[in-house]
Amino acid sequence: MGPPLPRPVRASVLFHPGNAEVLRYVEVADPRPGPGEVLVRVKGTSVNRLDMWIRQGTYRVPLPHILGTDIVGEVVTESPSGRWKEGARVVVYPGVPCRKCPACRSGHESLCPTLGIVGRERHGGYAELVSLPEENLFPLSDRVDWKEASAFPLTYLTAEHALNRAGTVGGETVLVLGASGGVGCAAIARAHRRGARVLAVTGSPQHVPALRVLGAEEVLMRGSNDLVERVQALTLGRGADVVIDPVGSAMWMKGLKSLARGGRYVLVGVTSGAEATTELRVIYTRQLSVLGGFLGDRGEFGALVEELSRGRITPTVSEALPLGHAAQAHQMMDAPHLGKFVLVP
């Protein structure tokens, strides 16, 4: 008898925009690596709001499409350069920069004018196999659990880049909005590691103990009418030095009013909506800086991967589900949860 025939590759595929049920777990053709690309056997991916927005049609992509920005796995065949050997454990940088523009050449890939995202501009990790540019791969220690690593790339890179954009240092007070989400959990942990005092805002009282373990000194409730007053009281009337906001419109003005004079506001997401009314005098009279934070640079990612491999980062996993249950994971995103939902082929 000859060797067993290879099992067909399967993926959770988006065939048309719609609710979670439009994701179908089907057989797909083996991905064929292009020039400079490497075939990776996916060991885990996770669900992001970006996946849901693509599924809903907010971002238009060629269909059928495979979602999944966060990818960890093993190299299937040696890379063209010989750097990546078969079986190497890797974690994937989620950005797809042009690598030619002045921003890319200076190491600021997140400012690339044509920056794409794995799982949006190209097929992602909701599959058993994926082809990726060799430059996107970073080595992952065998000490790191696949599920935890799956919850790492986008959230920790976004949080770290936001804290860097704000120039956050030890001793400052950082207010993290949307604290129970993936970016929120990462922002708490990373700000705490810098020696900052962290105040967290969540809509889920049941998550308070876990957020304290991550590094939040105080946890405030999102729906409270006196949120700004609570922040002022906890900072002796000064306000927070930095606000990290992945929420958007629902918390915008409360976040701005929670800042100290000269404070820095970093907007990294709009999970509650992309439009908001602004009291402009709050910004100019208190000399606030409003900054955007989008993904992050390869250098930042490499430094984070090193910390992950050394056990200094422990991503928060809400639940791990089989890859074929991607639709269920999308549905679960709308309910209160802590951290990331992971899909495991």
Residue 31 sits in the same domain as residue 118: yes
Residue 139 sits in the same domain as residue 201: no
Residue 302 placed within a domain: no
Q: Alpha carbon 41 to chain centroid distance? A: 21
Preceding omega of 64 cis (within 30 degrees of 0): yes
Q: For position 2, what pLDDT does the model report?
A: 45
For residue 206, what are the contacts with CB-CB under 8 A and spacing of at least 6?
336
Residue 190 sits in the same domain as residue 115: no
Residue 117 sits in the same domain as residue 22: yes
Q: For position 171, what pLDDT does the model report?
A: 98
Residue 182 sits in the same domain as residue 282: yes
Residue 59 placed within a domain: yes
Helices (H) and strands (E) in the chain, counts: 11, 17
Whether the per-residue pLDDT at 4 is higher than 60: the answer is: no
Q: How far apart are CA 152 and CA 165, in angstroms?
A: 19
Give me the half-sphere count of Cα atoms (radius 13 Å) on the Cβ side of residue 209. Answer: 1
Q: For position 6, what pLDDT does the model report?
A: 61
Residue 135 sits in the same domain as residue 234: no
pLDDT tens, residue by residue, 309-332 = 999 999 999 999 999 999 999 999
For residue 153, what are the contacts with CB-CB under 8 A and spacing of at least 6?
69, 70, 71, 72, 91, 92, 93, 94, 301
DSSP structure class, residue 32: -
Residue 233 sits in the same domain as residue 119: no
Q: How far apart are CA 331 and CA 335, in angstroms?
A: 8
Q: For position 3, what pLDDT does the model report?
A: 46
pLDDT tens, residue by residue, 57-74 = 999 999 999 999 999 999
Region 162-182: mean pLDDT is 98
Residue 131 sits in the same domain as residue 164: no
Backbone angles phi, psi at 224, to 5 degrees: -70, 140
Residue 3 placed within a domain: no
Q: How far apart are CA 165 and CA 145, in angstroms?
A: 29
Region 134-161: mean pLDDT is 97
Q: How far apart are CA 156 and CA 166, in angstroms?
A: 15
Q: How far apart are CA 285 and CA 282, in angstroms?
A: 6
Residue 1 placed within a domain: no
Share of the chain above pLDDT 90, in %: 96
pLDDT tens, residue by residue, 223-247 = 889 999 999 999 999 999 999 999 9
Q: For position 80, what pLDDT does the model report?
A: 85
Question: Are the C-beta atoms of residues 71 and 132 closer than 8 Å to each other?
Answer: yes
Domain housing 52: 9-152+315-344
- CATH code for the domain of 161: 3.90.180.10
Residue 170 sits in the same domain as residue 266: yes
Share of the chain above pLDDT 70, in %: 98
Number of domains in the chain: 2
Residue 15 placed within a domain: yes
pTM for the whole thing?
0.95
Using DSSP's 3-state secondary structure scheme, residue 296 falls into coil
Residue 70 placed within a domain: yes
Residue 288 sits in the same domain as residue 324: no
Q: How far apart are CA 258 and CA 242, in angstroms?
A: 9
Q: Alpha carbon 271 to chain centroid distance? A: 13
Q: How far apart are CA 91 and CA 46, in angstroms?
A: 12
Q: For position 5, what pLDDT does the model report?
A: 47
What is the pLDDT of the chain when averaged over all its residues?
A: 96
Q: Which of 1-5, 291-295, 331-335 has the lowest mean pLDDT?
A: 1-5
Residue 125 placed within a domain: yes
Question: Are the C-beta atoms of residues 326 and 340 closer than 8 Å to each other?
Answer: no
Region 87-95: mean pLDDT is 98
pLDDT band at 29 (very low <50, low <70, confident <90, very high): very high
Residue 41 sits in the same domain as residue 98: yes
Residue 29 corresponds to which amino acid? A
Q: For position 8, what pLDDT does the model report?
A: 85
DSSP letters along 203-246, please? S-GGGHHHHHHHTEEEEEETT-TTHHHHHHHHTTTS-EEEEEES
Query: Domain boundary residue among 277, 292, 307?
Result: 292
Residue 235 placed within a domain: yes
Residue 26 sits in the same domain as residue 59: yes
Whether the per-residue pLDDT at 7 is higher than 80: the answer is: no
Give me the half-sphere count of Cα atoms (radius 13 Å) on the Cβ side of residue 93. Answer: 23
Q: How far apart are CA 146 and CA 73, in angstroms?
A: 8
Q: For position 13, what pLDDT does the model report?
A: 98
Region 153-164: mean pLDDT is 98
